[in-house]
Amino acid sequence: MARVQRYPDGSRVPPWDRAVDLNKEPAPVPEPAVTPVPEDLRRTIEAYMSKYPDRRSAVIPSIAAAQRHYGWCSPEALDQVAAVMRLTPAYVESIATFYDMFETEPKPAHDVYVCTNISCSLLGADELFEHFIETLGDEGDFNIRAFECMGACDIGPMASVDGVYVGPLELDDVAAIANDVRDGRPVLSRKQLAHRAAADPGAAVPVPDPDTMAAGPPMPPERGRGEATSPEDEP
């Protein structure tokens, strides 16, 4: 069993007076004059703020924009969001730490979220995640995370690679995904969710497929030979 990490006083949480500097003033809203913000980031955030009746609503899209810009939610990035939105850094940080898709630690460039929730794990998602870690964990290019259900149980076990859903995945696909990402190709294009037809047989529209197009349209099913009647058989 894994040992629980403990602080010197035996507690599993830091002592109450240790995590904070009690003499420090709470950080105010950053001064725009001393908080330089890249012009395109500022404009993006201001555009988000203008869309809502209350500018504070734009905080999630704005943090997302800062994360796209810097690669992660660094303290400087959050300060800049706070400066543009006129919020305290603590408020922005409280949002950034609440939501799963914001990373408050430096992370590798490419996100691989592997679903390990119930439907996918019934189909082997845990082995898939282990395999991702074994194959790509040490590479430094990939931010591999076990994620909760991403709403694609029909292609389980699945992963979201830089926002692109792919599945159903087999263990061999892991290396192919890594190659596609490194070469800048669309990730595993034959297994992308975007190209998947609806499973409902009643809703299916025949999708033109290069193989069947060459062979002509699908023929209607043949009637059983025993039932076949010719004019001669008629009495």
Q: Which chain residues interact with another protein by CB under 8 A?
A: 1, 51-54, 56-61, 63-64, 94-95, 98-102, 113, 117-119, 121-123, 147-154, 156, 160, 163-165, 193-194, 197-205, 207
**Closest distance to another protein from the beta carbon of 204 (Å):** 6
Residue with smaller CB distance to another protein, 69 or 135: 69
DSSP state for residue 219 in the 8-state scheme: P
CB 141, CB 108: distance < 8 Å: yes
**Closest distance to another protein from the beta carbon of 168 (Å):** 9
CB 143, CB 161: distance < 8 Å: no
Residue with smaller CB distance to another protein, 46 or 135: 46
**Closest distance to another protein from the beta carbon of 213 (Å):** 14
Q: Which helix (H) or strand (E) holds 98?
A: helix 89-98
DSSP state for residue 59 in the 8-state scheme: H
**Closest distance to another protein from the beta carbon of 150 (Å):** 5
- Cα dihedral sign, 196-198-201-206: negative
Strands 159-161 and 164-166, by their bridges, are antiparallel
CB 26, CB 89: distance < 8 Å: no
Residue with smaller CB distance to another protein, 139 or 148: 148
**Closest distance to another protein from the beta carbon of 71 (Å):** 16
Residue with smaller CB distance to another protein, 2 or 219: 2
Residue with smaller CB distance to another protein, 51 or 182: 51
DSSP state for residue 146 in the 8-state scheme: E
Residue with smaller CB distance to another protein, 127 or 139: 127
DSSP state for residue 50 in the 8-state scheme: T
CB 126, CB 116: distance < 8 Å: yes
Buried b (16+ CB within 10 A) or exposed e, 4-27: eeeeeeeeeeeeeeeeeeeeeeee
Residue with smaller CB distance to another protein, 175 or 207: 207
Helix-helix angle 125-136:173-183, to 10 degrees: 50
**Closest distance to another protein from the beta carbon of 47 (Å):** 12
Residue type, 160: S
Residue type, 168: P
**Closest distance to another protein from the beta carbon of 235 (Å):** 40
